[in-house]
Amino acid sequence: MGSIQEGKKLRIAVVGVGMAGVAAGLDLVGLPNVDVQLYERSVNHRLAGAWLGVTPSALKRLVEWVDEEQVDSVITRRYNPFTALHWRTGEILHKPEQIDGAKLSKAERLEQMGISNAIRSDLHQLTLKLLPEGIVHTGKRGVSLDQTGDAVRINFEDGTDAVADLVIAADGINSQIRKAFDPDYTIKYLGHIVYTCFWDYAELKKELPDLPEEDVVMYCGNCLIFMGYVGYKQYSLELIVPEDTLESQTVRWNAIADEAKLNQLLEYFKDWNPIINQFIRLAMKKNIDMVILPRSRGGWAPSMIASDRIAYIGDAAHPTAGAFSSGTSFAWEDSQTLALALGHAHQINNDRWDTETVSKALKIYDEIRSTHYKKVFKNVEKFEDAWKNDLENMALNVSANDIKWITNHDAREAFAEWAKDHSSE
């Protein structure tokens, strides 16, 4: 089979420059003889969610990109599971054994860290700055794809286009590329709205002396609340409230709660631990934005590839709706596995890029990640069932279940295991 572009560089287009797209850019630019370009529909990257979970596997990837001082400028490392409090009285229902991270060595911190917390926009900006200058193109909303010969043409709303030999769909839960290849793909609303805001912890503590000293979780009925440290010296309130109305189902991503909505929250939480309404009233007084996020999830793709020239990463393939706080980790594992598969296929094909090389790499990528996700998805279904039927048990055991094989998954080790099993091929 002839080489792509007659021996020229492999042209890779990454569609979407969120957490998944940035990771793809960082991983793929390290491949030999490639031209990587990233396309983002937004002109300016907006605040997209306040509280982001960072799993141990995601942290290990992050410290490969930046030094630990930069990591700690955007992440609050958490070694202890959430303390469960009674929703009304604040009585401690369950407090796990506490670990003092300050007493741990650098290696121990990485090994013993649990799912830590970051402000999404801060973590995104930190990694975005690492990309080579000039490869990110904003204001590029894709409207269609044309596969012609060995190439793919992406047509943008502004009338321009891009031609690539490999397209990476990193455009999230509302992936237009996913919808183009899966016309039955729909977004499922899960019957909850997430309200979240954050503020400087020291300033917040002055205003709210009774603010918990640790990360806590509270639950009642089908409502779950998280309060804790997020980002650098920030403290966040996250309210996951059952709202199953037409208005809540159509709320746009990252809307800001107005005064009427905040007053509704005050009424909803009037009988709860007083700290909740104190926090909401302070947000109103200080004009702290309370971001609204719809809790929704799309169906998981049966395959991580759409063709021998198109691959999915992140929420475009497996939107988790916050399950295990692993969305970013999954995306970063996808990106690393795809880069490893491409590098492997390139090497065994005599360091040549051609359609056979790319096709082989995508099949390897799909085999490794789809096998892993079939196992993960069974746990996601249990997670969603807990929301509906056993929220109390889930809250008390939010970090107790043995899911380290999910949150501490090492994509490089998984690829090495695959390569070992296929060494004779």
pLDDT digits (tens, 9 = 90+) for 375-410: 888 777 666 666 555 555 555 554 445 677 888 899
Pairs from 131-137 (Cβ < 8 Å, separation ≥ 24): 131/22, 131/25, 131/26, 131/29, 131/38, 132/29, 135/25, 135/29, 135/36, 135/37, 135/38, 136/17, 136/25, 136/38, 136/40, 137/37, 137/38, 137/39, 137/40
Q: Are residues 303 and 333 in the same domain?
A: yes
For tokens 């044309």, name the residue.
146
pLDDT of residue 110: 73
Q: Are residues 331 and 413 in the same domain?
A: yes
Confidence of residue 79 (pLDDT cuts 50, 70, 90): confident
On whether the CB atoms of residues 147 and 164 are closer than 8 A, the answer is no
pLDDT of residue 94: 82
Considering the domain boundaries, does residue 112 fall inside one? no
Q: Are residues 206 and 256 in the same domain?
A: yes
pLDDT of residue 221: 79
Range in 223-232, 242-251, 322-331 with the lowest mean pLDDT: 242-251
pLDDT of residue 1: 45
For tokens 């400087």, name the residue.
200
Q: Does residue 336 surpass a pLDDT of 70?
A: yes
Sheet of 310-312: strand order equals 136-138, 34-40, 10-15, 166-169, 310-312, 305-307
Considering the domain boundaries, does residue 89 fall inside one? no
Q: Which of 297, 325, 350 is the last residue of a domain?
A: 297
* CATH at 327: 3.50.50.60
Number of domains the chain contains: 2
Considering the domain boundaries, does residue 97 fall inside one? no
Q: Which of 297, 313, 335 is the last residue of a domain?
A: 297
Q: Which of 257, 282, 297 is the last residue of a domain?
A: 297
Q: Are residues 369 and 262 in the same domain?
A: no
Q: Are residues 11 and 153 in the same domain?
A: yes
pLDDT of residue 343: 97
Amino acid of residue 164: A
Q: Are residues 328 and 345 in the same domain?
A: yes
Q: Are residues 163 and 310 in the same domain?
A: yes
- pLDDT tens string 20-63: 999 999 999 999 999 999 999 988 766 555 688 888 889 989 99
- Mean pLDDT over residues 216-235, rounded? 89
Considering the domain boundaries, does residue 247 fall inside one? yes
Residue-range definition of the domain harbouring residue 267: 190-297
Considering the domain boundaries, does residue 63 fall inside one? no
Radius of gyration of the chain (CA): 22
Considering the domain boundaries, does residue 76 fall inside one? no
pLDDT of residue 115: 81
- pLDDT tens string 144-201: 999 887 899 999 999 999 999 999 999 998 899 999 999 888 887 778 888 999 899 9
Q: Are residues 338 and 269 in the same domain?
A: no
Helices (H), 87-173: 106-112, 120-128
Q: Return the top range by mean pLDDT from 208-222, 282-296, 356-370.
A: 356-370
pLDDT of residue 384: 63
Q: Are residues 351 and 386 in the same domain?
A: yes
